[in-house]
Amino acid sequence: MSFLTALINGISLGSVYAIIALGYTMVYGIAKMLNFAHGDVIMVGGYLCFCTVQYLGLPTLAGVILAVVGCTALGIVVEGLAYKPLRQAPSLAVLITAIGVSYFLQNSALLIWGADPKAFPSAVSFPSVKLFDGQLIINSITIVTVLAAVLVMVALTLFTSRTKMGKAMRACSEDKGAAQLMGINVDRTISMVFAIGSGLAAIAGVLLCSAYPTLTPTTGSMPGIKAFTAAVFGGIGSIPGAALGGVLLGIIEIMAKTYISTQLSDAIVFGVLIIVLLIKPAGLLGKLVPEKV
Amino acid sequence: MSMLEVNDLHVYYGSIHAVKGVSFTVDKGEIVTLIGANGAGKSTTLNTIAGILPARRGSVEFQGEGILGVPAHKMVRKGIALCPEGRRVFTQMTVEENLQMGGYTRTDAENADTVEDVYGHFPRLRERAYQVAGTLSGGEQQMLAMGRALMGRPDLIMLDEPSMGLAPILVDEIFSIIKSLNDNGTTVLLVEQNASMALSIADRAYVLETGRIVKEGSGSDLLRDDDVRRAYLGG
Ligand SMILES: Nc1ncnc2c1ncn2[C@@H]1O[C@H](COP(=O)(O)OP(=O)(O)OP(=O)(O)O)[C@@H](O)[C@H]1O
Ligand SMILES: [Mg+2]
């Protein structure tokens, strides 16, 4: 039974990674930048939800909505102020800026909410599911998390494959110059992707804080790095890759914690990543594009 | 009044003066070609008209309206399409999706009509509608790039080296399609290295050398011109 429990916990944690990694990978796909501040948007989402519930006394759902709206706006503002002016700049400058934004968000949170961990109220209140005479308990938050990840994945797949906006996003990801010749406003499309990614980060923040209910200004850092790893693992730029990478990473992490060592689990996770990249440099689902001249 | 009037256009790449005071016109219904050697400034001129590159000096008027400084993504709505050098199709998208992107500024209903016209000109694209563009042959990619540009229903289509890298038989096919597009009312500004082909279908032509126009005339006159023959037609 403990294996099954570990597997379920792994899938649950992996689902959160997947949601974060989807944002990472979409932003990378279109802006060709690693948005290191992505993890900190998770933290902002957590605090926004926390404040809505704790100080305004509104139901959790209102907190989730506020977190999503707030982080979406934050994503657009950060992109417009910090990254857009650097569109032509070398990628190292953009990377350093992203690290700067990350610290800016963490320090702002420190200033506003302080360093003390906040006890996060659970976002879901229905009871857990008991199977096999109570030997296997599945938390309600686990169920909600997995469902949310599946829903996000399906929605994004439909968005990018069916809608005009989604296709425009793919066009920009591949060739911005050609995309603007089509009449696509590339700047607005990039901004939209940041908005989507940040909205997803907010959802991930609420789910993460519900499962691990302490909230500090650095809450988003480690999950952010893990999700980035998951995106690379699955093949950066690939949407199914991010989802697969996230889930696998979560499973590996929990399995390593359960069966090997809690202290070593992160080292094992990154060890697996290195091995995968040695065998498949483009990641699990990353593809080398066929090109004809 | 001409459809397109380019006047004393100067374009720089940093300190490199690539286009040095180019002036020319394109009238409605014409095929006009710019010919010239590698590096003469042909692509630079087209890209500047399309809003991709900024001009240092000069003016570009399209249907009576100054368009220098208008961002590239607004040009389709103004009626100008550029089919860029090297085709630049979206290799990871299907033929149909590429065409849909070409019609990005138009409604689905309008696109449904236009796509039939495009398939009419390029029947091979219809057969490959669901194929990923990256797996098309070079000639098919060129057809797709042209079809995609036509999806915006441009008044003026600018073609940058449509025959580049194609087998002679495909070159003939592409040029006859350009002619038929023009017969259907689209004005064409054509940039070519294949000067003899370009001159033979062009109403008028300009010869560009290191950023300056050095000669102009009707297509047939330039085909007979000794300098042009020596420099661009191999004797
Ligand atoms: N991105 C760039 N940066 C610097 N110089 C450039 C750039 N693009 C073009 N040039 C220079 O500007 C000049 C004109 O180039 P352009 O591409 O317009 O020539 P072209 O006539 O289209 O040539 P080709 O027939 O080879 O396509 C050339 O001297 C070229 O080296
Ligand atoms: Mg050129």
B143-201: pLDDT as tens digits: 999 999 999 999 999 999 999 989 999 999 999 999 999 999 999 999 998 899 999 99
Find out whether A38 and A197 touch, Cβ atoms under 8 Å. yes
pLDDT tens digit sequence for B37-89: 999 999 999 999 999 999 999 999 999 999 999 999 999 999 999 999 999 99
Least-confidence region, from A31-35, A47-51, A190-194, B225-229: B225-229
Which residue's alpha carbon is at the smallest distance from atom 22 of ligand 1? B43
Check residue A292 and give its pLDDT.
39
Check residue A124 and give its pLDDT.
67
Question: What is the CATH topology of the domain spanning B1-79+158-166+191-235?
Answer: Rossmann fold (3.40.50)
Answer whether B97 sits within 8 Å of A182, measured CB to CB.
no
Positive or negative torsion for Cα A55, A57, A63, A69: negative
Q: What are the residues whose beta carbons fall under 8 Å from the beta carbon of A192, sequence distance 6 or more? A: A165, A169
Residue ranges of the domains in chain B? 1-79+158-166+191-235
Q: Smallest Cα–Cα separation from A118: which of A54, A211, A59, A61?
A: A54
Question: Region A108-128: what's the mean pLDDT?
Answer: 84
Q: Smallest Cα–Cα separation from A250: which of A274, A222, A278?
A: A222
CA distance B63 to chain A (A): 19
State yes or no: pLDDT of A170 exceeds 90: yes
* Mean pLDDT for chain A overall: 90
How many angstroms separate the CA atoms of B28 and B30, rounded? 6
Find out whether A18 and A229 touch, Cβ atoms under 8 Å. no
Check residue A291 and give its pLDDT.
41
pLDDT tens digit sequence for A80-108: 999 999 998 998 999 999 999 999 999 99
Residue A108: other Cβ atoms inside 10 A: 13
Per-residue tokens: B115: 């796509």
Q: Smallest Cα–Cα separation from B143: which of B195, B92, B99?
A: B99
Neighboring chain B residues of A171 at a CB cutoff of 8 Å: 90, 93, 101
In terms of CA atoms, which chain B residue is nearest residue A169?
B101
Answer whether B73 sits within 8 Å of A175, measured CB to CB.
no
Locus of tokens 């890298």: B165
Q: How far is CA A196 from CA A15, A26, A149, A244, in A?
A: 17, 9, 14, 19
State yes or no: pLDDT of A290 exceeds 60: no
Query: What pTM was computed for the model?
Result: 0.91
